[in-house]
Amino acid sequence: MVKKGKYKLFNYLIENHLIYYKGLRKNDKIIAFAILEYFDFKTIEFILNDILRNKLIQYYAFQIDTHENREKLLVLNFEDSTKERIIKSFNYVQQKIIEAQNLARFQKEKNLESKFLSIITLDKNSKTSISKVSESLKISTENNAKLLSFFVLNLDVIKKTNSFMTSFLTLINNLEREGILIFNFRTDSDENIKVSSYFVEKSENTDSSFNIEDNINNFFHNDLIKRHSIKIEAIFNFLWRLEISNSFFPLNGSFNHFSPNTHPNSLGFSEINEEIEKNLQKNQIEHIRLGENLIFIEQSYLFLLLEKLDTKYITKILKKYYPKYIIYILILDESGYRKLIETEKIKLIENINLVHPNNIQDFNYQEFKRK
């Protein structure tokens, strides 16, 4: 039986909307978890941070599945010496969250247990073993086995926070991998909120020929993720949606990584980036993502999407790919588009197509079928 100090992996009790872990000794604190499906982080972010600072919860964590359905769960952690006080705190927190977002669904009984254990593909009714395989953990049951590889995220290198989530999840699916993203929020000694994040890749077996760390870091042009070796008992950290390392980042203002900025005056980079890819698929156009804002299409075209004018980056792309490929450039910032279209060098180059930001919704994707 795997233990985390005073607690056993399957030694928990479920009552209504809470899972309880009680320590092995009489005076050990009770640890409890609530899980809810959420829809809009922005509507509850202030409430979560407020109840965190007021010690009603010890931490909260967001869990995002990389599958196409992209299930998003919020996990709340309660700790106290009595169950009654935990229930009182939970009732208050539940009321506040539902008032802010009435579509939030708190999981209960069997659904709660299923969501809680599904993160590590555990079945408490099946014989389970956990072993160390190189830097990964292997969870084996009577019916299957899963290899879990852990990667810590460096949030400081993420430049486009509004589009990060869409880009990351799309990349993982394009690489034909699967896994879970965890964002853990807690307070430091000064009551400031800090964030720790990691990605856990789930696979059937080891594949030495494929390096997901290099693929992701090359895509984002930064050391975004770094493999992290954990001990067997640290499976509790993953199950409890705790941090797995000491890498924390201060939360300065609002956390913008979960969903794109939908303010009417925003550039809409994430939405348009995703819409372009959907339209390419819809029109059955062969394409490969070369980067967060660069798509290689039908072996003949490159589509470059930028939020603002970046002449150095455009020059770099042109030197690398022109004149071998026909290049389309979309700059979402109107002034940036105007500056680029008036550039003398761009005017003199053939097979460079500038797309006006207002015309992308009506763009004819069949152009990429022309050879």
Give the torsion sign (CA, 271, 262, 53, 249): positive
Q: What is the pLDDT of residue 11?
A: 81
For residues 281 and 233, membership in a common domain is answered with no
Examine residue 259 and state whether it is found in any structural domain, yes or no. Answer: no
Report the alpha-carbon distance of residue 335 to residue 356 in Å, rounded. 11
Examine residue 260 and state whether it is found in any structural domain, yes or no. Answer: no
Domain C-terminal end among 250, 278, 302: 250
Helical H segments across 175-283, by residue range: 212-220, 235-239, 269-282
For residues 162 and 78, membership in a common domain is answered with yes
For residues 96 and 225, membership in a common domain is answered with yes
Residue 28: which CATH number? 3.40.462
Report the alpha-carbon distance of residue 357 to residue 349 in Å, rounded. 21
CB-based contact 78:90 (threshold 8 Å): yes
For residues 246 and 273, membership in a common domain is answered with no
Burial group, residue 195, by CB count within 10 angstroms (0-12, 13-18, 19+): buried
Examine residue 261 and state whether it is found in any structural domain, yes or no. Answer: no
Return the closest-CA partner of residue 4 out of 306, 253, 230, 248.
Answer: 230
Three-class DSSP category at 96? helix
CB-based contact 72:37 (threshold 8 Å): yes
For residues 76 and 214, membership in a common domain is answered with yes
Q: Which amino acid is at 82?
A: T
Examine residue 263 and state whether it is found in any structural domain, yes or no. Answer: no
Residues 328, 292, 243: CA angle, nearest 5 degrees? 170
Examine residue 256 and state whether it is found in any structural domain, yes or no. Answer: no
Examine residue 262 and state whether it is found in any structural domain, yes or no. Answer: no
In the structure encoding, which two tokens stand for residue 166, read together? Answer: 């869409």
Examine residue 68 and state whether it is found in any structural domain, yes or no. Answer: yes
For residues 174 and 27, membership in a common domain is answered with yes
For residues 162 and 276, membership in a common domain is answered with no
For residues 71 and 128, membership in a common domain is answered with yes
State the residue range of the domain holding 147: 3-250
Please give the tally of structural domains in the chain: 2
pLDDT per 10-residue tile (average), the chain, 371 residues:
58 92 78 84 82 93 79 91 94 88 82 88 71 86 84 87 79 87 91 92 77 90 91 88 90 63 48 84 89 89 90 90 92 84 76 83 82 61
Q: What is the pLDDT of residue 124?
A: 66
Q: What is the DSSP letter of 21?
A: E
Torsion over CA of 185, 52, 73 and 99, rounded to 10 degrees? -150
Torsion over CA of 120, 178, 261 and 362, rounded to 10 degrees? -150
Domain C-terminal end among 190, 218, 250: 250
For residues 306 and 196, membership in a common domain is answered with no
For residues 75 and 129, membership in a common domain is answered with yes
CB-based contact 147:137 (threshold 8 Å): yes
CB-based contact 221:291 (threshold 8 Å): yes
Report the alpha-carbon distance of residue 186 to residue 192 in Å, rounded. 8
Examine residue 22 and state whether it is found in any structural domain, yes or no. Answer: yes
Domain C-terminal end among 250, 281, 313: 250
Three-class DSSP category at 18? strand
For residues 34 and 79, membership in a common domain is answered with yes
Residues 253, 95, 111: CA angle, nearest 5 degrees? 100
Report the alpha-carbon distance of residue 77 to residue 240 in Å, rounded. 8
Report the alpha-carbon distance of residue 160 to residue 167 in Å, rounded. 10
CB-based contact 280:367 (threshold 8 Å): no
| Strand 326-331 relative to strand 301-306, pairing | parallel
pTM tops 0.85: no
Could you count the other beta carbons within 10 Å of the beta carbon of residue 352? 19
For residues 164 and 281, membership in a common domain is answered with no
Helical H segments across the chain, by residue range: 41-53, 83-100, 109-118, 161-174, 212-220, 235-239, 269-282, 311-321, 334-341, 344-348
Helical H segments across 103-253, by residue range: 109-118, 161-174, 212-220, 235-239
Q: What is the pLDDT of residue 78?
A: 96
Give the burial string for 297-309 (b: 16+ CB within 10 Å, else e). Answer: bbeebbbbbbbeb
